[in-house]
Amino acid sequence: MSSVMAYRMVRVEHAAAREHFCSLIGPVPLHPEMLAASDADQHWMLLEGSTPVARCSLWWRAVPDYQGQRVGLIGHYATEHRAAGALLTLACAQLRMAGCALAVGPMDGSTFHHYRLVTERGAEPPFFLEPDTPDGWPAHFTTNGFEPLAHYYSSLQTNLEHQETRVPALAENFAAAGVHIRSLNLEAFDDELHRIYTVVATSFTNNLLAAPISEQEFIAQYRRLLPCVEPRLVLLAEHDDKPVGFLFTIPDWLQARRGQPVDTLIVKTLAVLPEYAGQGLGSLLSARCQEIASELGFTRAIHALMHESNISRRISDAYEGRIIRRYTLFARNLVN
């Protein structure tokens, strides 16, 4: 029977230990430089002899509260099944000592980084930029006192020619109001990211466990995608040259790796400024993108990683999206 005492607990604080920490295979690549820049409050590793068998990082200082409870995050999660209980027991004990009432995971510091677990895989293969986690990992959490906190899903749309009946009227109304939609200017990529960031900085503030991201970090994240971007499929909505919304989509390049034609578009991020919420700008951006994608030869779209109550879900439903994958974020009460 596994327990915390069955392993040697190591607080990761030095360069050599960070190398060891990152040697465990997780759902996304992790390098010592990334670990040092993650702003985590602690990194922990479980060793069996000299072999790392489990790891996690913990955050609590810069984490938003949830329903008035102080939250601690468990991220950079990677473990073998037999060490899961020991690792999560250790993590929860550390978060409790830090004054947290709720442990949430897996989440690598914020919702702008890797979080959630695949809890219903379905038949569709993984898509580009999708966080893919082992099927056994949800049981690590549920058998150690965690319960679902939030549910997410991805859906597949197989008819890009389908449009909402209200789209022509939306286009006319927004044009009359001075809102124009254009594609990304790849030659001024960093400047375009700055414009997109001004929307991100305000549009996601009410999301579950939303924490701010610096413009520098945001641009660095998206700059890494530059070789993969099809600029005609990234749309910005502007009013008086001010960005008021955007839609970031990207081809499913994993299809090419599987030797298939790239006919699927991934709808990664859709956001509008709060004053435009509920007016149909997101639907208009989606419709314009579908028109362009269809002209470019795409036949399918994946609406990726949507929270079950997010407005993106309503847009996906309007385009007859079929759920292909489900994901869950877990939480454990640390008070009782």
Residues 31-40 have pLDDT tens digits of 999 898 899 9
pTM: 0.92
For residues 59-64, give the mean pLDDT.
95
Helix axes 215-223, 189-203, angle to 10 degrees: 130
Least confident of 2-16, 88-102, 136-150: 2-16
> For all residues of the chain together, what is the average pLDDT?
92
36 closest CA partner among 76, 70, 64: 76
| Residue-level pLDDT at 1 | 39
Amino acid 299 reads T
Cα dihedral across residues 9, 146, 204, 324: positive or negative: positive
Specify the pLDDT at position 206: 82
pLDDT band at 258 (very low <50, low <70, confident <90, very high): very high
227 vs 244: CA distance, rounded Å: 26
- Beta strands 71-79 and 102-105 are parallel
The mean-pLDDT minimum among 77-81, 228-232, 300-304 falls in 77-81
pLDDT grade for 310, boundaries at 50, 70 and 90: low
Q: Which domains does the chain have, with CATH numbers?
A: 4-115 (3.40.630.30), 157-328 (3.40.630.30)
Residue 175: partners with Cβ closer than 8 Å, 6 or more residues away: none
User: What gap in Å lies between CA 265 and CA 38, rounded to an integer?
Assistant: 30
The pLDDT of residue 321 is 82
Q: First CA to last CA across the chain, in angstroms?
A: 24
Instruction: Decide which of 140 and 206 is more confident.
Output: 140
Res 162: pLDDT: 77
3-state helix, strand, coil in the chain (%, to 5): 35, 30, 35
* Cα 24 to Cα 289: distance, rounded to the nearest angstrom: 39
Q: Which residue has the higher pLDDT, 6 or 31?
A: 31
